Amino acid sequence: MLENTSRRKIAYYSINDPLDKRSWSGITYYLGQTLQKNIGEVHFLGPVKIPWFLDKTFRALQKLSRFFFRSEWIPKYSLLKNIYACWILKRKMKGHDYDLLVAPAAASELGYLNTRLPIVYFGDATYKAYSETYEKEFKGSNKFSRWEGNHLEKRSLKKSSLIVLTSRWAAQSAINDYGVPASKIEVILLGANIDHPPARDIIFQKEANKTLTLLFLAVDWERKGGAIAFAALEQLHKMGIQARLVVCGVVPPPQFVHPCMEVIPFLNKNEAADYRRFVALLSSVHFLVVPTRADCSLLVSCEANAYGVPTISTAVGGVNDVVKDGVNGYCLPPEAGGAAYAQKIAAIFADKERYHQLVLSSRRRFEEELNWDSFADHFHQVLEKHAL
C-alpha cells in the first residue's frame, strides 16, 4: 500500500445502503470500506428511503405508461425521484466539512446536485452503454424514460471533476456518447468482494480432483449464458470427457437436466455453514465458466481468481479488462457456442502443466490487480494526479 500523508474527509454519496453487502453486488460496501481504510474519513450519506406517496406516484405513472403508451417508464431514472434523492443527500451533507465527494453508481442522483466540492464519480457503465447492453432490463422502455436517463448521466459526468470507470468499454462510451474529455477519466479495476482472501496453498487443492469440474456462478441464467455452459457440459461428454457442472446462485429452467449437473440455488456467505461450502466449492472446481451475453465488469472472476480458478467467459462489455487471455482465463467471441467452450476447456485441462501455470497466474492476477488494496493504491495515485 502507498502511505497517505493526509486523510481526506469524504462525503460518500449513494442512494443505496453503503453498509449492506448486497448493494450494487457488494461494490458500494467494499469501495466505502476501502476508502475508509486507505484514503480518508468517510461519511456515509445513504441510504435514501423513497416516501410512500412518491412510491405510489411512480407505480401509478408506470401503469399509465403501460396502459396508454404500451411502453415502460422506469422510475429509477426519473427526474422526480432523483431530484428528491439529491435533496435528501444534500441535507445530510449540511453542516459537515468535506474535501471531496465520492459518488458510486450515482450518476442519476448527482444530476441536480449543486456543490463546490470536487466530485469523483465511480461507475462500471454509462447509461447509454448499460441501457443498450442489458436488453431485458430496458425492454420496451419509452423515449421519455431513456431521455431522462441520458439527461441525468450527461449532467453528472459534466460536473464531475474525476470519473473513475472499471473498463475501457465504459470509458469509451463516456467519451463518444457524452463528450467527456479523456483527461477526466481513469480506468481502475474492481477488487474481489471478499473479507478474507484464501491462503495461497488452497489454490492447488483442485488439482487433486480428477473429474473436470466447471462452475457456473450467477443469479441470471439467461443473461450470464447458462444455456451455453450447459451445452459445453454436453459437448465434453460427447468428446468422452467425464465432466461435471456445478450451477450456483440460480435454478436453471426445467429443460436443463443432466446427471452430471449439480444445482446449488443459493449460498449465503454470511452464514458459517454456507461460507464453508462456498470455500470448498471454489477450492475444488477447475474453471469458472460464465459465457455472459452482457456484462459491465465480471466481478465474480475476481473472486474465483483468488482461489486460482481461471475464468472462461465472453469478450463483451468490460469483461476483457478483467479476464486476460492466457493469464487468468480466456474470453471467447460472443458468437461462440457450447462446442467452442468445451474445446477450449478440454485443450487446457488435458495439458496439466499449462493448466497448473494458469492456476498460478490466475492467483497472481488477483494478488497484483484484482483486490481492493490494489484499487486503493491506484485510486490514491489518480487523486494525486488530478490534484484532488
Same fold, 8-191+371-385 and 200-368: yes
The confidence score (pLDDT) of residue 5 equals 52
Termini Cα distance of the chain: 19
Q: Are 155 and 111 in contact (CB under 8 A)?
A: yes
239, HSE (Cβ side, Cα atoms, 13 Å): 21
Domain 200-368 architecture: 3-Layer(aba) Sandwich (3.40)
Task: Say which CATH topology domain 8-191+371-385 has.
Answer: Rossmann fold (3.40.50)
The confidence score (pLDDT) of residue 1 equals 46
The confidence score (pLDDT) of residue 231 equals 98
> Mean pLDDT in runs of 10 for the chain (388 residues)?
70 95 91 97 96 94 93 95 96 96 96 96 97 92 96 98 98 98 98 92 95 97 98 98 97 97 91 91 97 96 97 98 98 98 98 97 98 97 96
Q: What is the 3-state secondary structure of 152-168? A: HHHHHHHHCCEEEECCH
Query: Cell digits for 198?
Result: 484464501
Nearest-CA neighbor of 315 among 347, 290, 349, 352? 290
The confidence score (pLDDT) of residue 17 equals 95
The confidence score (pLDDT) of residue 22 equals 84
Q: Are 224 and 292 in contact (CB under 8 A)?
A: yes
The residue extents of the domains of the chain are 8-191+371-385, 200-368
**H or E segment at 232?**
helix 226-238
